[in-house]
Structure 1
Amino acid sequence: MEPRNQTDVSEFLLLALTEDMELQPLLFSLFLSMYLVTVLGNLLIILAVSSDPHLHTPMYFFLSNLSFTDICFSTTTIPKMLVNLQAQNQSITYAGCLTQVCFVMIFSTLESFLLGVMAYDRYVAICHPLRYMVIMDTRFCGLLILVSLLVSVVDALLHSLMLLRLSFCTDLETLYFFCEVFQVIKVACSEILINNIILYFAVSILGVLPFFAIIFSYTQIVSSILRMPSAGGKYKAFSTCGSHISVVSLFYGTAFGSYISTTFTHFSKETAVASMIYTMVTPMMNPFIYSLRNRDMKAALRSVIRGTTAFQ
């Protein structure tokens, strides 16, 4: 395959979910249901936090931002998959692919930062309870969200602009179920060393740094909890962290599995499925994790549902 001179390929091919035509309606229904559950579940979290005065605290403020990020994260990938399934056409335009790359990076990085911020919030609440409201005031919480969003956008724009310098082959190239930056770089026909250096450097900083912040926070949290004399106090402290630990494990477990399989294995449907779980299943599960493990959230959600039913 010869590279195109000074131009880019007009479109890419995304990996077909199945070659069996009879399974396509079933897959369409499955992914549509996953998307609707993701959007509805996270919207309920946002409505519950905004409508219940008892949830107007930093922890739930960050949770509502995480839910909004999950909605956006799913919207970058699932609707295009549904359109392709319905149209039986796996193509995506070059501009559409780069746009998808940009938004996937924005919301995946933002989710990573939000999980780190939420870990810090739990650290302050448990290790410095008397100073909690002073440290985690409204201005500081808003600043944390703003900085996280700004860094995520700048990082995504940098990698998207770096993709513009690459040339691609004249034949259509097959990517994953969606356009993911590692795969787009792999199918380029021009020199990709600079792209890889910048990409892996950014991932090591922006991805690993929040993870180590989470590890540090929970190391301090566990140390503080173990020093508590009351068994009831220990249980209460652990219960406030349980939902967050579950979400962190789900997000980073699937994310690391996806990127490790992408980096060290050849292209296959198995590695593509790992990437799909990371971008689709995690946003869908977060509302269930927080609602099932949190008494205050369950009460707020019941109030929202009753209010919605009464309005109808």
Structure 2
Amino acid sequence: MSKTIAFIGLGIMGLPMAKNLVNAGFTVRGYNRSPEKVADLAAAGGQAAGTIAEAVDGADVIITMVPDSPDVEDVLTGDEGILAHAKAGAYWIDNSTIRPDVAKNLSAQAAQKGLKPLDAPVSGGEAGAINGALSIMVGGDKGDFDAVSDVFDAVGKTIVLVGPSGSGQTVKAANQLIVAGNIELLAEAVVFLEAYGVETTSALQVLGGGLAGSKVLDQKGQKMLDRSFDPGFRLELHHKDMGIVTAAAREAGVAIPLGSAVAQLVASTVQQGNGGLDHSGLLTVVEQLSGKNQD
């Protein structure tokens, strides 16, 4: 029998993920604070839910994809939340990116209520969500992971169980550290190349074929050249994620000097009112520091 999935959080990433689950043959019941996103899912063959309680009622699998730790906690533990209305034995997959310690604590609360929790943050941006090619790092029980492998396969391409509850969020923090560093250095390289009048499209093409090549260069290089910063992943969310990794590193006694510097540059960009830009918009602060702001 096909699983019934409740999908809570139909944003830039969540909506295409939910649509891919519909296309894979699952019954998908969606909830979002913005009702137009729910209507979009319904138009694609999903079902609309007016409340979280309605979405999770009888669902075999519950997926949450919301912005931050307090949002996940509210969706899970609120009076009208998941714990109050989900059936015992349901699988709870949290695709949000939150603090590892919060993920571990919420997983324990869910397990006490009879749910089977998996923290499963994703990477790949909007394009990966649309194409069903996300990288998914999962923390939790192996039996639970195996039981919902068909759900993961419908939205992701690289899906790995990385350890017990909380481990998925720890790996995602490392992912965001690497991505932010790559974006910052790519932005510096673009501003550097432009200062010398190099044909930048050709320059990025040849750089991409060597050791400097990366998915960040492939996906974000042209956006920087075009100054096209429509969000695939908003800077304000990466700012939140850098707060997660710097705090977790401090708790572990690990030095991340370059990561801390990039975190400050991301924070500066957000504080200047650019948090709604794609994270490739980090280029704007590099231009500012170089006295080369674009009008």
TM over 0.5: no
Higher percent of residues as helix: 1
TM-score by length of 2: 0.31
Higher percent of residues as strand: 2
Structure showing greater Rg: 1
